[in-house]
Structure formats: structure tokens, C-alpha cells
Amino acid sequence: MKQNIVEQIRDSVDILDLVGDYVPEIKRAGTYYKACCPFHKEKTPSFTMNPDKGLFYCFGCQTGGDIFDFIMKMESLSFNEAVRKLAERAGIDWHQEEIMTEEERARLKLYKLMDFAKEFYHKQLFSERGAQARNYIKSRSLTKETVEKFALGLSFFDGLTAAALKAGFTIEDLKKTGLVNSNKNDLFKNRVMFPILNHRGETVAFGGRVLDDNIPKYLNSPDTILFSKSRVLYALNFAAPAIRKEGRAVLLEGYMDVIAAHQSGVANCVAPLGTSFNEGHAKLLRRYTDTATVLFDPDTAGQKASKRTALILLEQGFYVTVATLPEGLDPDEYIIKYGADSFKQITQTGKDIVTYQLDSFLNGAATISAKEKSEFATEIMDIIARQQDKIIKAEWLALAANRLGIEQSILLDNLKNKPKEKVYKEAAAPQVKKENLFKGFLPAEISLLRIILKYPAYVGLCDELQNTPLSKTQVGVILKNVALLYSENADGFGLTQKLLQALPQLKEFILELLVKEIPQGLKPKVEIPNLIKRIEEFYLQKRYKELQQQLSSYGPGQVPLALLKEQIEIQKKLKSK
Ligand SMILES: [Zn+2]
């Protein structure tokens, strides 16, 4: 049963489609495909996929495996969670509880509670008592489709707790999901409810906006085992396809801004939730694009947040621009007044962060004191120092020097005296060292393995190699195992899987062999004997040289006959080849 589902999923999920959800672009490279690795930072693609085998392998960080390995690593899932997720993706119906662990079952129950709450709040919005909330939604010009898409709802002063208990959930469940306060009452009271979905589309939290004068104006669920503020961006589940398509993400300040943007068709917009944008958000976003526009409120707090956000993005390797809307308008107000096209235009332009900072500093005050200028120069150099791209860095330095009227050398001196601090501390990214796994092997040996893995039926042709020193290397071990598995009727993907299971210590080695396809039209019947001949010759010549060296150490008449005989036999064999 379990095996069946795994096989079924494997047959229906295409690795290119799956990986395509996480990387900006997949390129064809011969018979295989390449993308920039989502597991380590890189500019030239070394993440390779073989769609026929459903395998991937990164030559940069040497991560590899099948669709299950990929999704487990990408989403930090257990194997069972990965099966569940991929089964849902493939539309395969199965009884997930059967293969779940106790912990996963508990989590699933909490997800069900969140869905229950979402529906409960949504229904209340359309109840008789919901008129005030509906008027508020109307006043923000939200359409019926938008209300449905974002599953907006309404909380009254009570009701959810009782309803959830009646539906079979416990107070413990309600506590774990943050839906009740410490008095075991509904946390959200008299608020318009915004379900918060993670990037996988699971409801993990709620945001609530007051309908009266209560504070806080916006209230979010606390962090729970399902929800971490610093790892969720509002509407990313809806925005992801547009972000990939446009090659750009737009960061807005709140959920109303995001909803208005999506409603107007500008769908690459997301927002952090009740917390300032942080490194976790930047990393999440980096799975989809490397270009971002920050569009926050033009007030002082908004400007400060823009700068901080831009710096965090810059540190994660983004190209960042900062955009502002005129007349102090919110995105939804702007869209109503000037239309979606104009709004979209603004999100696509914007100023780079240095220009933005210079403009707001120089245009902000009538006179600038020397001290203010010095402080600002330190600040702007701190930004410039974070730029990885040397050309952009040089351009920015020239721009800052020019507009501040300070020589570049003085700005640079100032920078050297200040230690560079990170806006957001992070563990140093693991140094990815690329080591050639095939070092020390003959190209012919590697080619032979590749062909045999594709055409295991020909493994018998390699038998004679088992008498060469090759039998003791990885190459020999793999050949021997393929022969064994093939004799047990394993073939195709099943054989590859069993081989990886049988030789876990050679996983990287085997994956690296598998991802690179062998040339099309190659005739294994012809090519294999050729390669075997070359390999045998190599080992014979090697042995011949060894013998030569040994023999030369003996004086005349002392040469052991056995060695001499072996050398002559090798000579004969080499001639006959
Ligand atoms: Zn990698």
C-alpha cells in the first residue's frame, strides 16, 4: 500500500515542474536540465535534473536525490509529510493517516482546526450581524471574488471556542493554535478576519482588524507550532507564480495593501506580518526571485522600515529598489485613484536604495550641518559596503561622492575606520567546496558506469573487468551491485532506487553519474566493449610499468621468473588488443 502510493506519486510528479516552483528558471542543457541551486547561493546553474529518472543533483553543494528528497529538504518535511504533500499535488487520493506518525497526526488535527476556524469566521461575515464588517469591506472596494479568494471573515465577541469544542476539538488544540487567550476565550473579538496562509497554502494563523476603537488596530495570532511570523509572508501562496513570471517581488506594508494589489491584477505583492521584515523572509523570497521592490508608507516610520528591509534584501543577494507613492497615498487608495497600470509601473521602477537614501536626505532639510552630513555619509557607506556586485558598488560610490560633495577617497577612509555590522545577524553561509568526485578515475570508467546505469541489461559484458584492480574501486562495487540487482529482475528506476539503498555511502557518486545523460543514439553493444578494452589496456600498462620497475632492481641472473613471465604475458595481451 505504502509502496504503491510512493510509486504512483513518482509516476505523476515531474521533477522539472516541482523544482520549477522553487527556482526562477530552468534551462535545457542537452538531454538534462539546469537551474540555479535553491540550496546554496550561486550565479551559474549547477543544479542538474534528469527528468527521465526523476533525479536531481547539484554539482555545487553535492545535494541530490529524487522528488521526495527534494521536497523534504526544500520544505523541511519528514518523508511522510513529503508523501502527503506530493500526493495532494498530484491529486492522488489516499488515506494519509495510515502512514503518519503520532506527531504528524497531531499537526494535521491542528491544521483541520485552523480550516474550521477559517470557515467559521467566513460564514459569520455573511450573517445578519455582519453588516458592519461587510460595510467596511465595501468601503475598501473589495469585490466578492477577492473576499472569497482571501477567505475574509468576521469574529464576534465569542462563538469560535464553543463551536470548535462542539466539533470535537479540545481546549488544548485551541491553545496550541493560538485561537484562545489565556482565559480560554476567543482571542479575536469583533474583528474583520484575514486568514494567514503559509507559502504551501495551509492556514497557519489569522490577522484581525478592529471594527471599533479597540486596540490594537491589527492583531495577529501569536507564534505557534504551525506559525512563525518570521517565516511567513502574507499572500506568498497566491503571489508565487506572478513573482516567478515577473522576476520580481513587491513588498508592501500590510494585508489590505496586498489584497488591493492582487485584486487589481498586480499579483507579485506580499507583506510581512505584524513584524518587521527579516532574514527569514528574505530567504523565503529568494526561492522565487532575486529582484525586489520595497513599497512602504512614505511617513518616517515607513521610510526607516524601507531602508532596513532593503538592506536585509541586499545582504541576501537581491537587487533592491525602493518605490514611493505620491501624495502620501496607500496602495489601495492609489489604485482607486490612478489605476492598476500606473501602480504596476511604479512597482517596476523605483530607485535603487542608494539613490533613494540620497534623495530623502538631501531633499529633506533646507540646510544640512557638517555633523549631519558626516553621520549620513557613514550610513550610506554602510549600505554601499554591503553590495556584492563590484560595478554597482563603484557606481554607488561615485554617485554618493558626487551628490554629497565629498571625495570618494574620504568616504572610503571613513568606511575603513568603521567595522561593518550586519543588519540582521546570521550564521555564516556554509562554505560550499566543490570536490571532483570522479578524481582518480579514468574517463572510460565513468562513461562505462553511466551507460550501464542506463542499460543495465548489458552489465554481463563487464564481467571480465572483475579480474582487474578496478573491481576494488567504487566503479567495481557499483558494477557488481548492478549485476546482482539486475539478476534479481530489478530494472529502470527501481534498480536505481535499490542501488542507492544498497550503497548509501556512494549516494553522491551514483547521483552524479545519473544526472548527466549519456549521448543520444549511443549503441551500448558497441560502446561498452570499446570502453572495457580501454580500461583493461590501462590496467595492463600500469602493471607492465610496475613490473618493469621491479625487474630493474634485480641484478643479472637474479630476476624472478614469475615476474618475467607475467610481463611477457602482458605484452602479448596488449599486442592482441
Ligand atoms: Zn547546490
**Span from the CA of 33 to the centroid of ligand 1 (angstroms):** 14
Q: Compute the distance from residue 475 Cα to the ligand 1 centre, in Å.
A: 25
Task: Give how far Cα 501 sits from Cα of 108, 456, 566, Å.
Answer: 30, 17, 40
State how far the alpha carbon of 529 is from the alpha carbons of 205, 218, 484, in Å: 63, 73, 20
Residues 21 and 35: their CA atoms lie apart, in Å, by 12
Q: How far is the CA of 38 from the centre of ligand 1 (A)?
A: 7
Out of 257-266, 436-445, 529-538, pick the least confident.
436-445
| pLDDT at residue 424, as a whole number | 41
Give residue 313 CA to ligand 1 midpoint distance, Å. 20
Tally the residues of the chain.
577
Phi then psi dihedrals of residue 340, to 5 deg: -70, -35
Whose CA is closest to 357, among 384, 386, 319?
Answer: 384
Question: How far, in Å, CA of 389 to CA of 418, rounded?
Answer: 21
Contact between 50 and 16 under an 8 Å Cβ cutoff? The reply is no
Evaluate whether 64 touches 507 at the Cβ level (below 8 Å). yes
* Residue in the block written with cell 460564514: 123
How many Å lie between the centroid of ligand 1 and the Cα of residue 74?
Answer: 12
CATH topology of domain 102-227: DNA primase DNAg catalytic core, N-terminal domain (3.90.980)
Whether the predicted pLDDT of 218 surpasses 80: yes
Residue listed under C-alpha cell 578496478: 470
Between the CA of 70 and the centroid of ligand 1 the distance, in Å, is 12
The tens digit of pLDDT for each residue in 293-302 reads: 999 887 777 8
Continuous segment of H or E residues that includes residue 368: none
**Same fold: 2-98 with 102-227:** no
pTM higher than the cut 0.95:
no
Please say if the pLDDT value at position 217 is more than 60: yes
Domain 443-576 has CATH 1.10.860: yes
Q: How high is the pLDDT of residue 417?
A: 62
DSSP 10-45: HHH--HHHHHHTTSS-EEEETTEEEE--SSS--SS-
Across the range 323-339, mean pLDDT stands at 89
Q: Percent helix, strand, coil in the chain (nearest 5)?
A: 55, 10, 35
- The DSSP symbol for 234 reads B
Residue 288 Cα to ligand 1 midpoint, Å, equals 15
Q: How far apart are CA 503 and CA 559, in angstroms?
A: 44
Residues near 81 by beta carbon (within 8 Å), at least 6 away in sequence: 72, 75, 104
Taking CA atoms, 235 is separated from 192, 285, 340, 427, 484, in Å, by 17, 12, 18, 28, 51
Q: How far is ligand 1, taken at its centre, from the CA of residue 427, in Å?
A: 18
Residues near ion ligand 1 (Cβ under 5 Å): 37, 39-40, 58, 60-61
Q: Of the segments 28-37, 74-83, 253-262, 387-396, which one has the largest average pLDDT value? A: 253-262
In whole angstroms, what is the distance from residue 177 CA to residue 187 CA? 11
Distance from Cα 49 to the centre of ligand 1, integer Å: 12
DSSP 3-state assignment of 112? Answer: helix
- CA 23/CA 37 separation, integer angstroms: 7
Distance CA 529, CA 432 (A): 38
2-98: CATH superfamily: Zinc finger, CHC2-typedomain (3.90.580.10)
Residue 490 has pLDDT above 80, yes or no: no
pLDDT tens by residue, 48-90: 998 888 889 888 777 888 899 999 888 877 787 888 889 888 8
How much distance in Å is there from the Cα of 175 to the middle of ligand 1? 39
**Across the chain, which distance is largest between two alpha carbons, in Å?**
114
pLDDT for 426: 37
Residue 449 scores a pLDDT above 80: yes
State in Å: Cα 40 to ligand 1 middle.
Answer: 5
CA of residue 474 to ligand 1 center, whole Å? 24
**Ligand 1: distance of its center to the CA of 231 in Å?**
22
For 410, the grid coordinates are 574620504
290: closest CA among 309, 318, 314, 270? 318
Report d(CA 517, CA 500) in Å as an integer. Answer: 18
Taking the C-alpha atoms of residue 431 and residue 434, their distance in angstroms, rounded to an integer, is 10
* CATH number 3.40.50.620 is the correct assignment for the domain at 236-349: no
**Looking at residue 433, what is its pLDDT?**
44
Q: How far is the CA of 532 from the centre of ligand 1 (A)?
A: 33
Q: How far is the CA of 561 from the centre of ligand 1 (A)?
A: 55
Phi and psi at residue 215, in whole multiples of 5°? -120, 155
pLDDT at residue 435, rounded to an integer? 58
What is the predicted pLDDT for the residue at 560? 82
- The Cα 12–Cα 54 span in angstroms is 10
Which sequence spans correspond to the domains of the chain? 2-98, 102-227, 236-349, 356-416, 443-576
Q: What share of the chain in percent tops pLDDT 90? A: 33
512 CA to middle of ligand 1, Å? 13
d(CA 404, CA 376): 9
